Amino acid sequence: MAKDVTHDQTSRSDKEIPGHRRDPGVLGVTRVQPAYQQVADQLRERILDGSLTAGDRLPTEVELSEIFGVSRSTIREALRVLASKDLIRTTRGTTGGTFVARVQFDQVSEYLEMSFGLMSGARDITLDNLLEARECLEVPAAGLAASRRGDGHLVLMRQAVEREKSTRARGRKFREHRTFHGVLVEATGNQLLGVMAEPVFRVLQARTADRDMPAEYWSQIDAEHTEICGYVEAGDAEGAQAAMRAHLSTVRRAYDGL
């Protein structure tokens, strides 16, 4: 009698092939993480959800090993993972221990700038991405600045514009341009906006550092900065947003044309 080839092939495919690792996605499961990673992930979750806050001392290695039911070497590896992400710090001495780190805004900004720069260099972030991100951040920021700015912010913004007008050095103009936008974002009173906007601006500047802009471009930039200042000083949030949107469109057109 003829052998049922189809049945035989089906049966063989259902069997586990020696040395073959089945894709976990086939069963809809996730691979079990190493013990140290599971410990690190749980501690990380406690830090990010606020259960553990900056300055809190973690239990000792012995205590953590008892809490998690793992060896001290596993705990040490988990703590190394967290330390590599700047989530914890360890100090020596009688008052030492392992503490939840207090992250500063400038540290976050520098980390983002480095990460965006690496991604930009690898072309994972395009010039258009950077310009669009600025528009998303700085147009609303201009409106907030008009509503919240102090007199000191106006002084600094106008000083930056005057320095822009008086200098011909390309590098100096870029710096004053950045100063102007930095003060405007600072005037919102929202530090998180500055943490996000500054790295985008710096990476965009680095990406376009070798591009020469005509004198007419810089004159228009000076005029637009002056206009934005006027709306911010008048407390006109809608006017400030419209002026910033037009200004960033000028920047986009200039880069598109190079």
Please tell me the predicted confidence (pLDDT) of residue 44. Answer: 93
| 11 in any annotated domain | no
| 216 in any annotated domain | yes
**Distance of alpha carbon 92 from alpha carbon 64, whole angstroms:** 18
Q: Are residues 224 and 191 in the same domain?
A: yes
Please tell me the predicted confidence (pLDDT) of residue 25. Answer: 61
Domain total in the chain: 2
| 162 in any annotated domain | yes
CB burial of residue 189 (10 Å; 0-12, 13-18, 19+): middle
Share of the chain above pLDDT 70, in %: 84
Q: Which residues pair with 99 in a beta bridge?
A: 57, 89
Please tell me the predicted confidence (pLDDT) of residue 212. Answer: 74
* More confident site: 147 or 30: 147
Task: Give the domain-ending residue among 75, 100, 125.
Answer: 100
Q: Are residues 96 and 220 in the same domain?
A: no
pTM of the model as a whole: 0.68
- The pLDDT tens digits of the residues spanning 193-217 come to 988 888 888 888 777 766 777 888 8
Q: Are residues 121 and 76 in the same domain?
A: no
Residue 185: pLDDT band by 50, 70, 90 thresholds? Answer: very high
| Cα dihedral 133/138/139/144 (nearest 10) | 140
Q: Are residues 89 and 110 in the same domain?
A: no
Q: Are residues 48 and 123 in the same domain?
A: no
Residue 11: pLDDT band by 50, 70, 90 thresholds? Answer: very low
- The pLDDT tens digits of the residues spanning 37-93 come to 999 999 999 998 889 999 999 999 999 999 999 999 999 999 999 999 889 999 988
Q: Are residues 61 and 83 in the same domain?
A: yes
Please tell me the predicted confidence (pLDDT) of residue 246. Answer: 97
Residue with tokens 């006109």: 236
* More confident site: 237 or 117: 237
Please tell me the predicted confidence (pLDDT) of residue 95. Answer: 82
CB burial of residue 9 (10 Å; 0-12, 13-18, 19+): exposed
Hey, which of 11-15, 70-74, 100-104 has the most confident mean pLDDT? 70-74
| 161 in any annotated domain | yes
Residue 20: pLDDT band by 50, 70, 90 thresholds? Answer: low
C-alpha separations of 122 from 115, 154, 209 in Å = 11, 38, 17
Q: Are residues 221 and 118 in the same domain?
A: yes
Share of the chain above pLDDT 90, in %: 50
Q: Are residues 248 and 135 in the same domain?
A: yes
Residue 29: pLDDT band by 50, 70, 90 thresholds? Answer: confident
Q: Are residues 179 and 200 in the same domain?
A: yes
CATH number of the structural domain spanning residue 81: 1.10.10.10
* More confident site: 92 or 105: 92
Task: Give the domain-ending residue among 80, 100, 120.
Answer: 100
| 30 in any annotated domain | no
Q: DSSP labels for the chain? A: ----HHHHHHHHHHSPPTT----GGGGT--PPPPHHHHHHHHHHHHHHTTSS-TTPBPPPHHHHHHHHTS-HHHHHHHHHHHHHTTSEEEE-STT-EEEE----HHHHHHHHHHHHHHHHHTTSS-HHHHHHHHHHHHHHHHHHHHHH--HHHHHHHHHHHHHHHH---HHHHHHHHHHHHHHHHHTTT-HHHHHHHHHHHHHHHHHTTT----HHHHHHHHHHHHHHHHHHHHT-HHHHHHHHHHHHHHHHHHHHT-
Q: Domain of 71?
A: 35-100
Please tell me the predicted confidence (pLDDT) of residue 21. Answer: 57
Q: Are residues 221 and 160 in the same domain?
A: yes
| 28 in any annotated domain | no
* More confident site: 166 or 232: 232
* More confident site: 1 or 180: 180
Residue 152 has pLDDT above 60, yes or no: yes
Q: Are residues 93 and 122 in the same domain?
A: no
Task: Give the domain-ending residue among 47, 72, 100.
Answer: 100
Please tell me the predicted confidence (pLDDT) of residue 114. Answer: 76
CATH number of the structural domain spanning residue 177: 1.20.120.530
Q: Are residues 167 and 64 in the same domain?
A: no
